[in-house]
Amino acid sequence: MEEIKILDAVPEDALGITNVFYKAWLATYPNAEKGITVDDIEDSYKDEFSVEKIKRLKDLIRNMPINKKRFVAKKGDMVVGACTVIRNEKNNHLRTLYILPEYQNKGIGTKLWNKTLEFFDPKKDTIVQVADYTENAINFYKKLGFVDTGKRTPQESGSFKSGATIIDMEMIRKAK
């Protein structure tokens, strides 16, 4: 496989990042038991590729606050993975981490994680919210040293068109 590079996101990555989120959401979140449908995901992304939304994301990338970073995994010019991380007063927050479905299980998520470690404060705990039914992601975080805190919250983006909601599990990785 062509070398995967982990880089700071630049405004030109906005479309590629949105594509990674969209494809990963479609492959990850539809769930019959939870009542989350493909149509729900399609609906929640219906405006995300609009000129305005892409411009907004470009502006966000251009004006990142000092305590926040977006990293991308790129194969050539193509964004295949993306993550957003925040250094808070009290903790490090792994905000989002998504890999294009066909690029998962190739070590790219781990590479992005290793990059976030360079940015995070090693003296502080790190938290992540993960959909409570996504076994792969939960196991991925367990392998990185995260444990379930027991806290559950409805995802802040709200309910889908169908009325279903993703429940986030909070996981924590204690500072060494």
Ligand X SMILES: CC(C)(COP(=O)(O)OP(=O)(O)OC[C@H]1O[C@@H](n2cnc3c(N)ncnc32)[C@H](O)[C@@H]1OP(=O)(O)O)[C@@H](O)C(=O)NCCC(=O)NCCS
Binding residues for ligand X, per CB under 6 A? Answer: 24, 28, 97-99, 104-110, 128, 130, 134, 136-137, 140, 143
Residue 58 CB, nearest approach to ligand X (Å): 23
The CA distance from 130 to 98, in Å, is 11
CB of 51 to ligand X, least distance (A): 26
Q: Using the minimum distance from each CB to ligand X, give the nearer residue, 140 or 160.
A: 140
Nearer to ligand X, 5 or 55 (CB): 5
User: Residue 6 or 128: which CB sits closer to ligand X?
Assistant: 128
Which residues are CB-contacts of 139 (< 8 A; sequence separation ≥ 6)? none
Task: State in angstroms the smallest separation of the CB of 108 from ligand X.
Answer: 4
Q: Rounded to 5 degrees, what are φ and ψ at 66? A: -65, -25
Token pair, residue 145, equals 């040293």
Least separation, in Å, of the C-beta of 86 and ligand X? 13
Q: How far is CA 112 from CA 12, 83, 106, in A?
A: 19, 7, 12
Q: What is the DSSP letter of 12?
A: G
CA distances from 4 to 9, 64, 80, 108, 136 (A): 14, 24, 9, 8, 22
For 68, counting Cβ atoms within 10 Å of its Cβ (0-12 exposed, 13-18 middle, 19+ buried), the class is middle
- Cβ proximity to ligand X: between 35 and 101 the closer is 101
Q: Which is nearer to ligand X, 121 or 170 (CB)?
A: 170
Return the residue nearest ligand X (CB atom). 109
Residue 175 CB, nearest approach to ligand X (Å): 20
Lookup result for tokens 């399609």: 42
